[in-house]
Chain A
Amino acid sequence: MSIAEYQSQKKPKVDNYLTHNRGFLSWALTLDHKRIGLLYMMFVLSAFLLGGTFAVLLRTSLLTPNHWMFPSDPAHDTQAKLFYNNMFSLHGAVMVFMFIIPAIPAILGNFMLPMMLGAKDVAFPRLNLMSFYIYCLGAILFTWILMGGILRTAFNIHLPFGFGLDTGWTFYTPFSTSKAEDGMVAGVLGAFILGFSSILTGVNFIASIHTLRPRGMTWFRMPLFLWALYATSIIQVLATPVLAITLLLLIAERLLHVGIFDSSLGGDPVLFQHFFWFYSHPAVYIMILPGMGVISEVISVHSRKHIFGYNFIALSSVALALLGFLVWGHHLFVAGQSNLVDSIFSLLTFSVAIPSAVKVFNWLGTLYRGSIRFTPAMLFAMGFILLFTIGGLTGLFLGALATDVPLHDTYFVIAHFHYVMVGSMVFAFLAGMYHWFPKMFGKMCNPAWGRFAAILLFIGFNTTFFPQFVMGAHGSPRRWATYPVEFQPYHVISTIGSYIMAISLITVALNWLAGLLWGKKAPANPWGGNSLEWHCPSPPPYDNFPTPPVVDDPYNLAAWEYDASIEGWVPRKSQPAAATGPAANRTRPVTH
C-alpha cells in the first residue's frame, strides 16, 4: 500500500472543535464560542504577562528607598518619578481593564456557558465575535499608549502617538484634566472601547441564560458557575455604561475644557470620583463573582460532595451584584464627600460583606466530610478561600470611617485589593483553568508540577503582600516612587515574594504548555463532575453534544463512578438511593 494509505490507517480521524475546519480565517471569523474563548485566552494571558512584568519591575524599583534604576541627580529624579508613575498606571490599567475583567467570563465563561446549558452556542454568536474584536481594538490602542509612555520616560524612545499615562488607572481629576501626560485622551478612549466588549458579553450571557436553558433545567437546577456569570453580566450591563460616559466626559473636559470636573471653570472634581466609582466598585464584583462561581464548581467536584447550601450561594451571587451598586462612596471617604453621605456609605459597605461570608461558609460546609483530592485545581481553590477571607476582612477596616482615614491611600489598601484580586481572583482563574483544561484541550497536565506551582504561588503571594498590610498600617503611602528608609525591609521581603510569584506563574505556564504538547489524552470526565459539559467528549465536537444530554442536578456526583482503565469517570450503572437533595449532605461522600 502507499505511504498515504498506511498513515491514514494508523491515525483515526479526530473531529473536534479544534480540527473541525482549518486555516486562519476559520479562526479569525469563527462563530464557535469555544474558539472565541481560546482567542480571548491568547490576548488576555498576554495582557497578564505584560501587567505582571511591570509588577515585577515596580517591585524591583522599590528595592531601595531611592529609585536606583536612574542616576541620582535632580534632573533624573523627575524623570524617574515620571517613569514610576507610568509604570504603575500601566500595571493597574492593563491588569484591570485587559486582564481581570474579561478573564473568567470571556475565556471560561464563553467556553463553558453554552455547554453547561446543553446548548450549541451562546444566544448571539456574531455579537460574541464582535465583542472579541472590540476587545482587541481597545487593547491594542491602550497598550500602545501606555507602552509609549514607558519607552519615552525610560529610554527616550519616541513611538508615534506613544504619549503615556501617568495618572494611575483611576484617572482622577483635576490632575488628569490639566497636568497629566498627553496620552490621556487616547488612553481613555482605549478603556472606553474595552468597556463595550464587556457590555456586549454581558448582554450575550444574560440572553443565553434566559432563553437557552433546556427543558428541565429550572433556575435552581443550573450549575452555580452560571449563576455567577449571570450576576456578573447584570453588573457588566448596568455599570459599564456609566464608565463609558465618565470617560467621554473626561475626554470632553480635556479637549474642550467644558468645566464639568475642573474647578477653575466651575466644575466639581469630586463629581468625577462619584462617576468613576459608580462603575469601578461594581467592577470589582465583575472581577470576583465569576471566580466565586468557579470555586463552587471546583470545591464540590474535587471533594466528591454535593455543594452545601446551593440556594444560598445562588441567591448571594445576585445579592452581591445588587448590593455592590450601593457602596461606591467608600472610595471617597477622604475626598471631600459630605459627612452624611460618608456615614450612609460606610453602613452600606458593611452589608456587602454578608453575601461573601455566606458563600465562604457554604464552601467550608461542602469541604467538611468530603473526600478531598489535592488536585492543582483544589489547591488553588483552597488558597482562594483563605486569601479571600483575609482580603474581605481587611476590606472591613477600610469600610469603617474612622479606620479608613489613616489607611486610605496607603499600602494597606494595596494589600487589601491584591488579596482579593490576585489572591482570590487569579487563584480562582487558575483553579478554573486546571479544572477545565482537560475539557478544553483533551490533554491532562502533570499534577505534581501543578501542585508545586500552587503551593509556591501561595507562599510567594503572601510573602509579597502580607508585609504591605503592616507597611500601610505604619503609614507608608501608595503610588510613591520613593519612601522613607525605615520601610525598606518590608519592601525587600515584598520584592522577593514577587519573584517567587513570577517563578510559580512561569511554572504554571510551562505546566500548561507541556500538557498541551505531551499530556496524556484526557477522558470525557476526568474529575467526575455532573454538570453538562462533562457529558461530551474532551475536547468537545464542533456542535458540543453528539446526542442531547440529560438534565440532572449538576451536583449529583453519585451518578458517576471511577474507571481506572481510562483514568476517568463513567456514568454509574445503578443509582444509589438519596443521591440528591438535602440528604446528600449528610451521607458519606461517594468513593470509587
Chain B
Amino acid sequence: MSTASTEVSAHSHAHGPGHHDPHLAHHFDTPEQQFTSAKLGMWIFLGTEILMFGGLFCAYSIYRHNHPLVFKFAAEAYLSTKWGAINTVILITSSLTMAWGVRAAQLNQKKLLISCLVMTLMGAAGFLGVKTIEYSAKWDEHVWVGSWNKYNGDNDASYATPPPAQPTTQPAIQIPVPAYSPTAIADDANTGLDVSQIKPRYAYSFNQSIQLAPPKRASDAKPTDEEQRDERYRQLSASDQWRVNTFFSCYFLMTGLHGIHVIVGMGLISWILMRTLRNDFSSEYFTPVDLVGLYWHLVDLIWIFLFPLLYLIH
C-alpha cells in the first residue's frame, strides 16, 4: 500500500455539455452503471424467490421420499399428464415471446414489442385457464386442499382409515381436561382453554356411512375409473392411506403459489404494455422490460421443475 493517500476523486462526473439523460438517477454516474445495478438487484430478488419456492420443494422432497407410493398413487389417479404438458408448452412459448419482446425493446421495434407482450399475456391467460380446468376437476372429485379433500382426516366424509391397532405394554397417555369453569374467564370463549369448544381431531375420523366403491363385480364388466382408483387406494398400507392428503397439500401449495406468481406476472406485463403504448421505452432505456422479462422467465423456470416432480410420477 502506498504511503500517500490516493488522490483519486470519488466519482467522475460524466456529464457532457448540456446533455442530461432524463432516465439517469442523480446518484448514478452513467446509464450503464444504472442498468447494471438494476439487473443485479433483480437477480438478487430472483434468488430470494428461488429460496422461497425451495422451502416448498423441501417439504415435497421429504414427503415423497418417505412415502413414495402415496405420491405415485395420487399423481397417477388424479393428475393429468396431458394438461401438465400443455401448460409446460404454453409457458415455454410465453417465455420465448417475452425474450423476443426484450429484444424488440432493445432494437426500438415498438410494434413487435407490443405484439410480443400481448402474446405473452395470452400465454399466461392460457396457463391459468388450463389450471382452472384442472382445479375444477379436482373440486368435482372432492380432492381439493386441506379439509375439502376426502382423504384428509378433518373432512367429515373422510376416506382416511384408522391405522391398525398397535399392541402396547403401557396404557395410552391420557391428558386430563382441566376442570375449570369456562364462565369464570370473562365472557370470552376463545381463550383456547375452553376444551368443550375444541373439536377432537383424530387421524381416522372414519365415517361409517361412506362406503368406498364396492369391489369388482363377479361379471366381466370393466371396473370404472373410480373403482380402479379405490382398489389401488385399498392396496396402500394404512399409514400411507392416511397420508394421501399430504400429496394434495404439496400439489395445491406449490401450484397455488406458482399461480399467484403468474397472476402477478400478468399484472407486471400489462404495466409494461401500458408504458410501451405511452412510448416510454427505446433502445436507450428498456430496463423495466428487461427486469419484468427476467421475472417471467423465473416463473417459467419454476414450472419446468414443478411439471416432472408433480405430474410425471410413475
Q: Do chains A and B touch in the complex (CB under 8 A)?
A: yes
Extra contacts, 15 of them, besides A158-B188, A163-B190, A265-B154 (Cβ < 8 A), are A82-B192, A122-B27, A123-B41, A124-B38, A156-B188, A179-B192, A203-B45, A207-B44, A215-B11, A237-B48, A238-B51, A266-B243, A543-B26, A550-B6, A550-B7
A232-259 residues at the B interface, CB under 8 angstroms: 237-242, 244-246, 248-249, 252, 255-259
Residue in contact with B146 in the complex, picked from A217, A256, A545, A578, CB distance below 8 Å? A256
- A contact residues around B27 at 8 Å (CB): 114, 119-123, 125, 212
B177-212: contact bitstring with A at CB < 8 Å (1 yes, 0 no)?
A: 010110011101011110000100111000000000
Residue of B nearest to A213 (CB): B10
Are A249 and B48 interface neighbours, CB within 8 A?
A: no
Enumerate chain A residues within 8 angstroms of B180, measured Cβ to Cβ: 74-75, 78
Q: Which residues of A contact B1 (CB under 8 A)?
A: 553, 580-581
CB under 8 Å from chain A, chain B span 12-51: 12-13, 25-28, 33, 36-38, 40-41, 44-45, 47-49, 51
Docked pose: A581 CA to B292 CA in angstroms: 46
A-to-B contact residues, CB < 8 Å: 74-76, 78-79, 82, 114, 118-125, 127, 152-153, 156, 158, 163, 166, 178-182, 199, 202-204, 206-207, 210-212, 214-217, 237-242, 244-246, 248-249, 252, 255-260, 263-268, 271, 275, 532, 543, 545, 548-553, 556, 559, 575, 577-581
Q: State whether A256 and B52 are in contact (beta carbons under 8 Å apart), knowing that A203-B44, A266-B246, A579-B3 are contacts in the complex.
A: no
Task: Name the contact of A238 in the complex, choosing from B12, B25, B47, B186 (C-beta under 8 A).
Answer: B47
Q: In the complex, are the beta carbons of A211 and B33 less than 8 A apart?
A: yes
- Per the bound structure, the CA–CA distance linking A121 and B34 in Å amounts to 13
In the complex, are the beta carbons of B7 and A266 less than 8 A apart? no
Chain B stretch 33-75: residues in CB contact (< 8 A) with chain A: 33, 36-38, 40-41, 44-45, 47-49, 51-56, 58-59, 62
The answer to whether A552 touches B44 (Cβ under 8 A) is no
* B52 adjacent to A216 (CB under 8 Å): no
Report whether A259 and B245 are in contact in the complex, using a CB–CB cutoff of 8 Å: yes
Residue B153 CB within 8 A of the other chain? yes
Per the bound structure, the CA–CA distance linking A238 and B26 in Å amounts to 30
CB closest chain-B residue, reference A183: B190
Q: B54 — which chain A residues lie within 8 A by C-beta? A: 241-242, 245
CB distance B41 to A577 under 8 Å? no
Instruction: Give Cα A166–Cα B152 distance, bound, in whole angstroms.
Output: 27
**What residue of chain A has the Cβ atom nearest to residue B241's Cβ?**
A266
Q: Out of A75, A153, A203, A581, which one reaches B3, CB within 8 Å? A: A581
Taking a contact as CB atoms closer than 8 A, the residue among B6, B186, B245 that contacts A552 in the complex is B6
Q: Which of B3, B9, B202, B203 contacts A575 (CB 8 A)?
A: B3
* Cross-chain contact B191 with A245 (CB below 8 angstroms): no
A216 touches B8 (CB 8 A): yes
Given A181-B191, A211-B40, A271-B59, do A264 and B8 touch, yes or no (CB 8 Å)? no
Q: Which of A178, A210, A265 has the most chain B CB atoms inside 10 A of its CB? A: A265
List, in ascending order, chain A residues with CB within 8 A of B218's CB.
none
A207-B37, A242-B54, A575-B5 known; A121-B11 Cβ under 8 A: no
Q: Which of A125, A127, A216 contacts B10 (CB 8 A)?
A: A216
Determine the distance from Cα of A202 to Cα of B59 in the docked complex, in whole angstroms.
26
Residues from chain A with a CB closer than 8 A to the CB of B53 are 245
Asked if B228 CB lies within 8 Å of chain A CBs, one says: no
Identify the closest chain B residue to A274 (Cβ).
B58
With both beta carbons as reference points, the residue of chain B lying nearest to A121 in the complex is identified as: B27
Q: Decide: B192 and A180 in contact? CB cutoff 8 A.
A: yes
Q: A118-B10, A548-B9, A553-B5 are in contact. Are A241 and B48 (CB under 8 A)?
A: yes
Q: Is the CB of A204 within 8 A of B152?
A: no
Known contacts A182-B190, A203-B41, A264-B202: A257-B146 contact under CB 8 Å: yes
B173 part of interface (Cβ distance < 8 Å): no
Taken together as a complex, chains A and B put the C-alpha atoms of A216 and B38 apart, in Å, by: 23
CB distance from A87 to the nearest CB of B (A): 15
Chain B contacts of A580 at CB under 8 A? Answer: 1-3, 5
Specify the chain B residue showing the minimal Cβ separation from A200: B45
B296 contact set on A, CB distance < 8 A: none
A122, A152, A255: the one contacting B188 at CB < 8 Å is: A152
Q: Is the CB of B253 within 8 A of A252?
A: yes
Identity of the chain A residue whose Cβ is nearest the Cβ of B66 in the assembled complex: A268
Find chain A residues with CB under 8 A from B188 CB.
Answer: 152, 156, 158
Chain B residue nearest to A543 in the complex (CB):
B26
Whether B5 and A550, one on each chain, are in contact in the complex, defined by CB atoms closer than 8 angstroms, is yes
Verify B185–A79 contact, CB threshold 8 A. Answer: yes
Tell me if B48 and A240 are in contact (CB < 8 A).
yes
State whether the Cβ of B242 lies closer than 8 Å to any Cβ in chain A.
yes
A166 touches B11 (CB 8 A): no
Contact B26 A120 (CB under 8 A): yes
Q: Does B246 lie within 8 Å of A259, measured CB to CB?
A: yes
B5 close to A556 (CB less than 8 A): yes
Q: List 27 A-B contacts (CB under 8 A).
A: A75-B185, A119-B27, A123-B37, A124-B37, A158-B188, A180-B192, A203-B45, A207-B41, A214-B10, A240-B48, A249-B55, A249-B253, A256-B147, A258-B249, A259-B146, A259-B245, A260-B59, A264-B153, A264-B203, A265-B203, A265-B245, A266-B242, A268-B62, A551-B6, A552-B5, A579-B3, A581-B3
